Amino acid sequence: MSITLLARKQVQALTPYQSARRIGGHGHIWLNANEAADSGEYQLDCSRLNRYPECQPPHVVNAYAAYAGVSAEQLLVTRGGDEGIELLIRTFCEPGQDNIVICSPTYGMYAISAETNGVGIIDVPLNNQRQPDFDGIIAKLNNTKIVFLCSPNNPTGDLVDSTGLRRLLDAAKGRALVVVDEAYIEFCPEFTQADLLDDYPQLVLIRTLSKAFGLAGLRCGFTIANPEVIGLLLKVIPPYPIPEPVAQIAAQALSDTGLATMRARVADINQLKVTLTEQLRQHPQVQEVFAPNGNYVLVRFSQGAALFARMAKAGIILRDFASRPGLADCIRITIGTQTEMDAVLDVLQQEQ
Ligand SMILES: *Cc1c(COP(=O)(O)O)cnc(C)c1O
């Protein structure tokens, strides 16, 4: 008898998340996972590694709360933003019964986490302006525990409209949580929805150190919500989610120096992004450059597959979204270094 048949039916049917790392490729320029091009320098004190760490290291919680302008009771530290997404689903959704709403095309982990936990997925696709279809979502609320929005949206880059979001939050009162995933908010901090938290107890934000802070390898993220929501998540989170070295490095990243480094990195990336998008928009093979609000830009080329292959041949690994509905010929380019952006433009200029 095969071991596989012993696994839960749900798990047997799963296709694992196709992360940029898993898809891989042979390249020397990695622009497929929205990682930062540099990580920074950190010190480690190993004298306490014999002890179990705090479940919620207070110096990390307090530093992030101060940075985000919220209170410590509104915050949960997790193993990346992804663990926050998974915890929300495991805490609020009854397997085999409840649903989440996603608005495709969007970040893949909402659906993966739901599927792994036997929770249903209702897709209410983005409308023609690539905004959430707020009326469509509201119509599904009876049947839904969590609505996942992403702002800036990965991969399209669009920001969720605040007026529509408020309307959804009003409709969701007492019925469902509304999660706004702000993994990329440092690249456009003026658009955070954090100021709505006080008015809407069912609003949840997801944040991470993986993108603007340059620490994807650290696995550290944050869930921001009403203290009642945080209290429920704390019942489900494992006892020692944040390893001691992670807490130490996260605290350094959130110090005044760390925040200054992050803001300088963001300024550099945003500048490179402006230059890249201007040059892309003038290129005859480029049909559309989507809203560039994160550290990436989604581009529709006239012949996406051929261009993706040419880039790969030149050692430049990008992320292909062509198979997603509405994203034919679309490729997402992470903003890397100046040299990496020049390499991308070089390949684009070459005759085929
Ligand atoms: C990268 C990302 C995350 C979380 O990443 P972690 O590395 O798990 O913190 C969450 N949401 C979106 C949209 C992302 O792109």
- Has residue 24 got a pLDDT over 60? no
Cβ-contact 235, 95 below 8 angstroms: no
- One-letter amino acid for residue 180 of the chain: V
CA dihedral 83, 127, 146, 226 (to 10 degrees): 80
> Degrees (nearest 5) of the Cα angle 169, 293, 247?
80
What are 334's strand-pairing partners? 296
Dist. CA 236–CA 193, nearest whole Å? 26
Residue 116: CB within 6 Å of ligand 1?
no
Burial (Cβ within 10 Å: 0-12, 13-18, ≥19) of residue 12: exposed
Q: Among the three residues 226, 257, 288, which one is the final residue of a domain in this structure? A: 257
Asked if residue 145 and residue 242 are part of one domain, the reply reads yes
**Per-residue pLDDT averaged across 2-12, rounded?**
88
Asked if residue 176 and residue 245 are part of one domain, the reply reads yes
User: Hey, how many other C-beta atoms are within 10 angstroms of the C-beta on 33?
Assistant: 17
Asked if residue 33 and residue 53 are part of one domain, the reply reads no
- The pLDDT tens digits of the residues spanning 162-201 come to 999 999 999 999 999 999 999 999 999 999 999 999 999 9
- The pLDDT tens digits of the residues spanning 36-74 come to 999 889 999 999 999 999 999 999 999 999 999 999 999
Asked if residue 135 and residue 29 are part of one domain, the reply reads no
Q: Please name the residues in contact with 79: beta carbons below 8 A apart, sequence gap of 6 or more.
A: 219, 220, 221, 241, 242
Q: Among the three residues 197, 222, 257, which one is the final residue of a domain in this structure? A: 257
- The pLDDT tens digits of the residues spanning 326-345 come to 999 999 999 999 999 999 99
Tell me the pLDDT band of 13, cut-offs 50, 70 and 90: confident
**Per-residue pLDDT averaged across 84-94, rounded?**
98
Residue 81: CB within 6 Å of ligand 1?
yes
Q: Please name the residues in contact with 151: beta carbons below 8 A apart, sequence gap of 6 or more.
A: 158, 159, 160, 180, 181, 182, 185, 191, 193
Residue 157: CB within 6 Å of ligand 1?
no
User: Hey, how many other C-beta atoms are within 10 angstroms of the C-beta on 202?
Assistant: 20
Task: Indicate the number of domains in the chain.
Answer: 2
Which ligand 1 atom sits nearest the alpha carbon of residue 220? 9
Asked if residue 206 and residue 71 are part of one domain, the reply reads yes
pTM of the model: 0.96
Mean pLDDT of the chain: 95
- pLDDT over 90 for what percent of the chain? 91
Tell me the pLDDT band of 78, cut-offs 50, 70 and 90: very high
Residue 80: CB within 6 Å of ligand 1?
yes
Which ligand 1 atom sits nearest the alpha carbon of residue 153? 13
Asked if residue 154 and residue 126 are part of one domain, the reply reads yes
What letter does residue 104 receive in the DSSP assignment?
S
Which ligand 1 atom sits nearest the alpha carbon of residue 84? 8
Dist. CA 233–CA 90, nearest whole Å? 9
CA-to-CA dists, residue 284 to 108, 287, 288, 301, 302, angstroms: 31, 8, 10, 9, 8
Distance 183 CA to ligand 1 centre (A): 6
Q: Given this model, what pLDDT does residue 20 score?
A: 60
Asked if residue 290 and residue 345 are part of one domain, the reply reads yes
**Per-residue pLDDT averaged across 240-267, rounded?**
98
Which one of 208, 211, 293 would you pick to mutate in the ligand 1 pocket, going by the greatest count of ligand atoms within 8 A of its CB? Answer: 208
The percent helix, strand, coil of the chain (3-state, each to 5) is 40, 15, 45
Asked if residue 85 and residue 221 are part of one domain, the reply reads yes
Distance 85 CA to ligand 1 centre (A): 9
Asked if residue 72 and residue 169 are part of one domain, the reply reads yes
- The pLDDT tens digits of the residues spanning 103-140 come to 999 999 999 999 999 999 999 999 999 999 999 999 99
What are 296's strand-pairing partners? 334
Q: Are strands 99-102 and 120-123 parallel, antiparallel or unpaired?
A: parallel
- Has residue 236 got a pLDDT over 90? yes
What letter does residue 242 receive in the DSSP assignment?
S
Distance 348 CA to ligand 1 centre (A): 29
- Has residue 352 got a pLDDT over 70? no
Which one of 109, 153, 185 would you pick to mutate in the ligand 1 pocket, going by the greatest count of ligand atoms within 8 A of its CB? Answer: 109
Q: Write the CATH number for 280.
A: 3.90.1150.10
Domain residue limits at 121? 46-257
- The pLDDT tens digits of the residues spanning 289-339 come to 999 999 999 999 999 999 999 999 999 999 999 999 899 999 999 999 999
Q: Name the residue with the closest Cα to ligand 1, atom 12.
A: 183
Which one of 107, 218, 222 would you pick to mutate in the ligand 1 pocket, going by the greatest count of ligand atoms within 8 A of its CB? Answer: 107
H helix runs in the chain, sequence order: 9-12, 20-23, 58-68, 80-92, 109-116, 134-139, 162-172, 227-236, 244-253, 256-281, 304-313, 338-349
Residue 29: CB within 6 Å of ligand 1?
no
- Has residue 18 got a pLDDT over 80? no
Cβ-contact 204, 228 below 8 angstroms: no
Q: Name the residue with the closest Cα to ligand 1, atom 11.
A: 183
Residue 241: CB within 6 Å of ligand 1?
no
Residue 82: CB within 6 Å of ligand 1?
yes
Residue 150: CB within 6 Å of ligand 1?
yes
Q: Given this model, what pLDDT does residue 15 score?
A: 79
